[in-house]
Structure 1
Amino acid sequence: MRVFFDRELDTAATYWRIFRRDGIVIGFTSHDRDLVFGGIRHRAAPGMVPAAIRMTSDLSEDSAGVDGTLSHDSIRATDLESGLFDQASIEIGIVDWQAFDSYAIYSGTLGRIEDDRRGFSAELRSAKAILEQDLVPRTSPTCRAVFCGRGCGLSAIRFTQRVNLAAFDADLNRVSFDGLPSANYIDGQVRFLDGPQTGMAFGILSANGGWLTLDRPLSDQTSIGTPAELREGCDHTLATCSGRFGNAINFRGEPFLPGNDLLARYGQGAG
C-alpha cells in the first residue's frame, strides 16, 4: 500500500466522493486538474477544503467537515435547497495524482449543511453516529410506528398508487396528481420516478382543492407528466388507526396514559 507523506515532496492531493441517494456519484479533488481513478471522475475544486478530521478509537463520535464554494456546477444552491444532498454518503481520502494510488481516511454521511449564498459548509457524520440514537421507546399519545413500516403491520403497496404529475405551483410548493382525492394523503409522501429529483421522498403537509403542499422545495425543472408514487398518510391517532385502517391491534402508543399534568394537580379532599 502506498505510504503518503514519507518524503519531502509528495504528489498527494485530497479527494471527496459524494454518493447521493438518487444514485448520482460526484467526485472532487483539491488538485488543479481533474483526476480519474476508481471508475470515478474527480473534478478539480481547489476551493473545497476539508476541515479538521477527528477520529478516535473509542465509541465517541468522529467529526469532520468540508467547506466550499457554490460556484461549482455540481453543487448548486437549488440542489441543496431541494434536498438532493440530504443524508448522502461521503468519502474523503488522499490520492497520488501521478500513480493514482489512493487511501480513504474518512467515510460517513452528510449532516447539517449551511449555505450563506457565497459558500457552504457541511457537517460529516461517521458510522458511530448511530450509537447516539435513543433506542428506548418513550410513551406517547400517538403511534410511534412509521406508517406501513416496521411495527405498523400494514402493506405499503395497498396504500400506494402510481400517478402522473398534472400540475405544480413552484411559488407555493404544491403539486396535483390526476384528480385523486386529497383528503387521505395528508402526512403521506410523494416519490418521483423520473426527473431531477428521482427517488426523493417528499412529505405532504396539507391538502386543499386537489393540491398537495410538499415539505421541501420542488425543482423548477420538473415536467408535467412526471411519474410518481403517491402514498396515503396517517395522523398516528388511535381513532384513525382503528376507524380508517382497522389496525388498532398494532397501535404503538398510549393515548389513555395520564400525562405529567396529573402529578402537578392539587389534591382535593371529599367534601
Structure 2
Amino acid sequence: MRTIGEVMQKHLNGGATTLCRAWVVRRRDGRVFGFTDHDTDLMIEGVLCEASSGMDASAVESSTGLAVDNSQAVGALSSLGISDLDIETGRFDGAEVFHWLVNWQQPEQTILQFRGTIGEVRRGNGAFEAELRGLSEALNKPVGRTYLRQCDRLLGDVKCGVDLFAEGLVAEDAVDTSKGRRVIELKHLSTFEEDWFAQGKVTWLSGPNEGAEGLVKVDYRRGPVHVVELWEETRFPIGNGDRIRLHAGCDKQAGTCQEKFGNFFNFRGFPHMPGEDFSLTYPIAGRPMDGARRA
C-alpha cells in the first residue's frame, strides 16, 4: 500500500497538477484559522481553510544554519479572517503556522512545506505582512541566566512569584479626560503614590480599545488628578469613561523588589556584583569600586 507521500509525488511527476496552498494558524489563545489560495474552501487536517481570504505566501526556502526562514505570509485584513485590531493587539504574535501544499481535487493529499511561528507583523493599507519563523529559530534564543545587577524576570511570572492582582498592586478606574492617545487622567487613584504604575501594564476594559494592552511610561499627581502617560499611542481614540486596569510597575532593582513588593527572596539579579572598574583599575584608598558612573 502506497503512502500519501508516494501518491502525492506521483501526482507531482505527472506534469499537469491540481495544486494550491493552505495555511493553518493556531493562536496562543486556542483559536484556529484556516486559509487557502484556492477558489473553494478545503478541509485540511480537520480545519476548514477558507477561500477568498486574501492570503498569499512566497515560496518557502530553508537555509542552512539558524537564520530565520525567508518565508512571508501576506493577506488582506477582513472581518472574516484577520482584523486590524487582531494585529494591533498582538493576538497573532507567536502563533503556530502550518503551510501545506495540497491537491485540491483530493485534499487528503498534502505535503507539509513549513511549520513555525509568526514573527514580526507589519500592517498598512488594509493588508498585513507577517514574517514566518521556522522551528530552528528557537535555537537562536539565549539559554540560561544573564549576570546583571537588575532582576532578569518579568513581574508576576512564575519565578518572580508576585501576585499582580494582590491588593495595592492593581487598580481599575474610568478615564476622566485624555490628551491624544497616550496621556490619560484619572480621579480615583489618590491612594497610590507617584510612579507606582511606571513600567507597569495597562489593560483596556471597555471602549474601542477593549482587550488591548500597553505599558506605562510615567505616572504622576497633578492636584487630585493622577496622570498616566503610555509608551505608545492606543490604536483607537480614548473616550471619557473608558475603563482601564493598571498593574504596578517594577524597575527590576533590588530595593524596589524589597520595599515595594516585599519579594527580595525571589529577586533574580546580582545587586552586589562588582563593576568593570573593579577589574580594570588599581586600588585607590577611599575610592569605592562599585561600577557607578563618576566624573
Matched, 1:86 2:93: yes
Match of 2:105 in 1: 98
Unaligned runs of 5+ residues in structure 1 are none
Which of the residues 203, 207, 220 maps onto 2:215? Answer: 203
Match of 2:289 in 1: none
Letter in 1 for 2:38: H
Matched, 1:155 2:163: yes
Moved more, 131-140 or 160-169: 160-169
Instruction: Assess if the C-alpha contact under 8 Å between 1:110 and 1:125 holds in 2.
Output: yes
Instruction: Assess if the C-alpha contact under 8 Å between 1:241 and 1:247 holds in 2.
Output: yes
Which of the residues 131, 150, 169 maps onto 1:142? Answer: 150
Match of 1:218 in 2: 234
Instruction: Assess if the C-alpha contact under 8 Å between 1:141 and 1:254 holds in 2.
Output: yes
Letter in 2 for 1:112: E
Letter in 2 for 1:142: Q
> What value does the CA root-mean-square deviation take over the aligned residues?
3.8
Going from structure 1 to structure 2, the CA distance change for 1:72 and 1:148 (only over 3 Å counts) comes to closer
What does 1:108-123 align with in structure 2 at a 5 Å threshold? 108-115=116-123, 117=125, 120-123=128-131
Match of 1:235 in 2: 251
Instruction: Assess if the C-alpha contact under 8 Å between 2:153 and 2:160 holds in 1.
Output: yes
Going from structure 1 to structure 2, the CA distance change for 1:23 and 1:47 (only over 3 Å counts) comes to closer
What does 1:243-254 align with in structure 2 at a 5 Å threshold? 243-254=259-270
Matched, 1:125 2:141: no
Structure number with larger C-alpha Rg: 2
Secondary structure of the residue that 1:185 maps to in structure 2?
coil
Match of 2:56 in 1: 48
Instruction: Assess if the C-alpha contact under 8 Å between 1:165 and 1:176 holds in 2.
Output: no
Q: Distance in 1 between matches of 2:29 and 2:178?
A: 23
Q: Normalising by structure 1, what TM-score?
A: 0.76
Tell me the alpha carbon deviations over residues 116-135 of structure 1, each in whole angstroms, 9 at most, x when there is no partner. 75865432123332222212
Match of 2:71 in 1: 65
Q: Distance in 2 between matches of 1:54 and 1:139?
A: 34
Instruction: Assess if the C-alpha contact under 8 Å between 1:83 and 1:216 holds in 2.
Output: no
Aligned-pair identity (%):
25
Matched, 1:7 2:30: no
Instruction: Assess if the C-alpha contact under 8 Å between 1:22 and 1:197 holds in 2.
Output: no
Instruction: Assess if the C-alpha contact under 8 Å between 2:92 and 2:118 holds in 1.
Output: yes
